Amino acid sequence: MLSLTTGLAPLVLAGLLGWTGAVKVFSRGTAQQAPKTALARMLRSSERATTVLRATGAGELLIAAGLLVVPANPVPGAAAAVLGAGFLGYLGYGRAVAPESSCGCSASEDTPITWRAFARAAVVLIGGATVAVAQDTWWPAVTERPAGALAFLAGAAAVLVALSADLDRWWLLPLRRTRLRVFGHPLLGTATDQVPVAASVELLENSLAWQAAAPVVRSALLDHWEDDGWRILQYSGVYGDRENARPVAVVFALDATAGRDTGDDPIVRVSYVDADSGEAVAVDELRAAPSRRILPMAG
């Protein structure tokens, strides 16, 4: 396995550098993508960034050709390792200075620099060093072990594709869409028909029952629960005046499924429970509760 890896490493590196180099040199989008890269920030010029990107692409093509033609020579591998180290340094600078910018690694992606760009640069560095040291040719590995070579190259290609953000639209986006079609939306089923408590409170505060009980209520919502289809809302209140004032619990009940969008106004029940004795307070006694004083409003 080790001999197969070192033997085919020049082929894998040549494929990667040949692809990214060709895009940088020949793509019309290089000039359009250059201003979005951290390189333009570094050089303070989109034109200079375009020139450097195309020059880098030409260097990648030259190294790729050397890896294909003279893989046993240590020079192409060493050059690839130096290029990978340079990529890592540049990515570190871009991540620190302009993290929102793209790296321009293939001059066709506009996504910010992520760990995938670092991983791909590390592959170039390690692969180049491996080729320079091993000095193996790739054709014996292909001719002597074609099945193993094909499987290795397929696996390496899959790894490189996974590390290339500019190829996401070809495989990752369709994969995500397929997952949604097969397994459904992750938020599907989380929605519920249950009416939020805040909606019940809003409905209650617009009801005649609330207006009738408002002179007694002295607090915001203290507690709520549901019982037999009713939503119970509890407030505290006071009935009586001065030395005769006594605390009560004001309890409202309305349809638990009722909301502002459900149509007709729901029936609201209200009762008062003496806070000390726990006994229901007669409604007649509450009619004597003083109404609230209307506060002045500044115009």
Query: Mind listing the pLDDT tens digit for each residue in 46-74?
Result: 888 889 999 999 999 999 999 999 888 89
DSSP per position, 120-145: HHHHHHHHHHHHHHH---SHHHHHH-
Q: For position 86, what pLDDT does the model report?
A: 92
* Distance from the Cα of residue 148 to its chain's centroid: 38
Taking the whole predicted model, whether its pTM rises above 0.95 is answered as: no
Q: For position 291, what pLDDT does the model report?
A: 53
Q: For position 299, what pLDDT does the model report?
A: 47
Rounded mean pLDDT for each run of 10 residues along the chain, 299 residues in total: 78 90 86 82 86 92 92 90 92 84 72 86 92 83 82 87 80 79 63 76 85 85 87 87 80 83 75 81 58 54
Q: For position 294, what pLDDT does the model report?
A: 54
Q: For position 39, what pLDDT does the model report?
A: 85
User: Are 238 and 261 a contacting pair, CB within 8 Å?
Assistant: no
Say how far apart CA 122 and CA 116 lie, in whole Å. 10
Q: For position 281, what pLDDT does the model report?
A: 78
Q: For position 196, what pLDDT does the model report?
A: 84
